[in-house]
Structure formats: structure tokens, C-alpha cells
Amino acid sequence: MTPLRAELLERYGTRPVPRYTSYPPANHWRALSEPSWPAQVLGAIRRPLSLYVHVPFCKSLCWYCGCNMLIDHRGELVERYLSALEREFELVSQRLPANREVVQVHLGGGTPTHLGPAQLERLIGALRSRFPWAADVEASIEVHPPVTTVAQLETLARLGFNRLSMGVQDFDAQVQSRVNRHQPFAQTRDLVASARALGFERVNLDLMYGLPLQTVERFATTLELVKQLDPDRLALFGYAHMPTLKKHQRLIDANELPKADGRLALLELAITTLEQAGYTLIGLDHFSRSHDELVKARANGTLRRNFMGYTTCRDSEVVAFGPSAISEVEGTFLQNQHDVRAWCGALEAGQLAVTRGWAPTADDDVRRALIMQLFCQLDVDTRAFGAAHGIDFEAYFADELTRLGELEQDGLVRRRPGHLTLTAEGQLLLRNVASVFDAYLKGPPKTHAPAV
């Protein structure tokens, strides 16, 4: 890899920019004002479906967590949640055009394996009974090894799940103690072996850098252990310390967090180690084997990205269930009530639990497509893009291309006639490059979306 120069990290690394899991970013979406609007959006779906189910429960709190989750010890709320989820499946299926095939399913959280085998069977059975799964469906689930049993994996495999994503973050015991996440390597190793013995096609791991007490030496040991597990794919996330938004993060001693140069050293170590082990960096934060379908999709221009991450699934609409879950239909976003009890209450009253969303403008559609192409392909054929969207690329983005000049001078992008390409350093600052084309960073555009 090309090391990221310290001056570029200092110049760009402190600028607050979105992760662009959506465009426009979620902080610009509006409260729901027309109750019938979500049903209209769902009723217009014509493509296959990617289904996401949010399971918000955990048995203990990881102090770095930025997810919508809550700690559950007694189980009563879980039963209420499952009943409300079944009701949500029913209400949504009634509003969709008939026979929309499901090409992707993902259970996220929280900790989906907080649910026992019988509860998982109940959830998945209810989902499959209302939404037909394609024969080649990608069905994945996020699991936490300390609370995941072989019996749960057996249930998932029998019900059609073929991919697992396991959180690791760091195997160092001292780092784990500082974030209240205790996960011995042997426990994760044994669960990976069980998953492969049961026939799961993909076993993926998540790592995190920027955690307290992480050093290059300690993280190098974690990476060597990760290589022993031989995951099919990895995700490498930078810890975002936001104690004003996530109050539990105040339990982390900010003085023990790596400084900017330390974070950079951890990132570079991870990239170098994983590339030497045969992995390719995909887009912003994913790694896969060189023969993997993600690498092939990036090469042939078919790689896609949605709220569930990078995917090779054919074009589909994301329909999401559970508290805070986000559906995306042709660039229109629908987000459910965040609070679990309020979400349950809406469904128990026979109503969809959508509370806010966004209907895109024509300009949103163009900019979203461009940002997604940068994230997936790291290159834009500006003539082809302009023709596909009915614009003169150079004229439409004249102001943005002027501002892009600074990034070009810094070596983050390379421009030549008909092409805009990210460099290796630019890939590490991908969000900064994409933000140049974000009209909302300058305030709401003059042509804003209709009320929702």
C-alpha cells in the first residue's frame, strides 16, 4: 500500500464528513408528515428485495458501541418484540406488490444471537412465510461468539443462512477490558470451525482500530491471530469517540485512545498485513480474497453498496424491519421509530412504525449515484456517467471540480480527460473525496425534496 502522508491526515483527518451509507445523510431527513407515504413507497417496488431485520438486544454493553441497542436480562421485551416483528412482516407484505423475490437477507443488531434457537426459528419462519427467498439468496447474520452456541448455528444453517459476520474488534485482553468486551481467541476460533463444518459459505470478521490501549505491537498480534482464522472477508472500522451522543462511551478513558498518528499507524499496519496475506482493500473499509466475488464485481463495475455493506447481489430494494431500521427504495428512505417500546406500540396499534424519511430530488439521484460509484469503483468515467444521467458532467459539477483541485494537488485524486480516479492515498480518505460532491454540507439545497 501507499502510506498516507502525515500532513494529509492532519489536513483531512479532522474534518467531520459522513460515512455516506446514504445520500443525503440521515441527519437531513424529515419527520413523517403524511401517514400514507410509506405504504405508497412500498407499493411502488418493482425490483427484488434485500431484507434487513434489526435485533436490538444485547446481554452486556460494549463501551465503544454506536448501534441502537439495549441490554436485556429478563426476556419479556424480547417476546413483545418478536410479536411486533411478526406484525410488521404482515403489514409490510400486504403493501408490497405480489411475489417480490428476496435475494438478500441480513440480521443485524445489537446481537441477533441474543435470541435462542426457538426464537430464531420463529423470526426466520415468519419472515420466510411472507417473503419468498431466491434459491441463491445471500442470508447473513451478525453473531457475537461469547453468546453464540453451536445449536444456534445449526438452526441458522437449517433455515437457509449461509454467511456469518463475527465481531472481533481486538483479541488483546487489556484492550478488551477497556471496552468491556471479553472474547478469548479460542472461543472465536472454535465458533469459526463449527460454522465451516456446518457449511456456511462465508465467515467474515470485523476489526476496529483506534480503541484504548491499542498499539502497533498489540494490534500486530491480533492480526496474526486473525490470519490463523483465515476469514473470507474482513471489515476494518475506525472507532468514533462520541461521548456527547453515546453517553456510555464516557466509560472509556479518552486519554488512553491513540492519537491521530497512532490511529494512522494502526490503519497502515492492518492494510499492509492483510494485503500481504492475500486480501484486497475494497472501497472504504472491506477486505476480501483476490478471487472473491467482491473483487471481481469491483473490476467489472457491478459492485453495489447499501446499508448492509458492499454486495454483489443483483439490483434490489432494501426493506427493513425492527426499531430504527432503514428501508431504501429507489433512493427514497424510510426509517422506523428508534425506541423499541414505541416501535412495538405502533405495530400493536396496526400501524407501520416509520417516523421519518426522505424523498429524493433529481439532484439527489445524480449525486448519490456519483458518490456510490466513487465508493464502489474508485473511478468515474465522466462521459458515460453524464450520458447515463442526462447531464454535462463538467458543467453540472463545475464548482465541485474546482474544489477538487485541492485534493488533486494533494495527490488524492487524478483527473484526465473523461475520468476521475482515486489514488491509493485517496482511497484511505474516500469520505473526504466524496464529500466534495455533497450539496448538503453547504446547507440544504435550494431545490429540496417534497415533504414526507
Percent of the chain with pLDDT over 90: 82
What are the pLDDT digits (tens) for 275-325? Answer: 999 999 998 889 999 888 899 888 888 898 888 888 888 789 999 999 999
Rounded Cα distance, 387 and 42, in Å = 29
Which DSSP helix (H) or strand (E) runs through 130?
A: helix 117-130
What's the CATH number where 435 sits? 1.10.10.920
8 Å CB contact between 271 and 283? no
Is 310 in the same domain as 393?
no
Beta bridge partners, 72, equal: none
- Residue 45, domain member (yes or no): yes
DSSP string, 349-394: TT---EEEEEPPPHHHHHHHHHHHHHHHHSEEEHHHHHHHHTS-HH
What confidence tier does 12 reach under pLDDT thresholds 50, 70, 90?
Answer: confident
Strands (E) in 110-162, as ranges, are 133-143
- Residue 24, domain member (yes or no): no
* CA torsion, ordered 224, 230, 232, 236, to nearest 10 deg: -10
Q: Give the end of a domain, one of 350, 376, 395.
A: 350
* CA torsion, ordered 60, 62, 63, 65, to nearest 10 deg: -120
Residue 335: closest CA among 147, 54, 124:
54
Q: Give the end of a domain, one of 328, 350, 372.
A: 350
**pLDDT recorded at residue 301:** 86
Give Cβ neighbours of residue 370 (< 8 Å, ≥ 6 apart): 380, 385, 397, 437
DSSP 3-state of 146: helix
pLDDT tops 80 at residue 43: yes
- Residue 5, domain member (yes or no): no
Rounded Cα distance, 36 and 56, in Å = 27
Is 243 in the same domain as 368?
no
**pLDDT recorded at residue 75:** 84
What are the pLDDT digits (tens) for 152-187? Answer: 999 999 999 999 999 999 999 999 999 999 999 999
Amino acid at the residue 209? Y
Which one is predicted more confidently, 7 or 39?
A: 39
What pTM was computed for the model?
A: 0.94
Domain span holding position 369: 361-442
- CA separation (Å) from 344 to 98, 115, 177, 216, 307? 26, 17, 34, 45, 23
What confidence tier does 1 reach under pLDDT thresholds 50, 70, 90?
Answer: low
What confidence tier does 450 reach under pLDDT thresholds 50, 70, 90?
Answer: very low
> C-alpha angle 65/71/76, rounded to 5°?
150
- Residue 25, domain member (yes or no): no
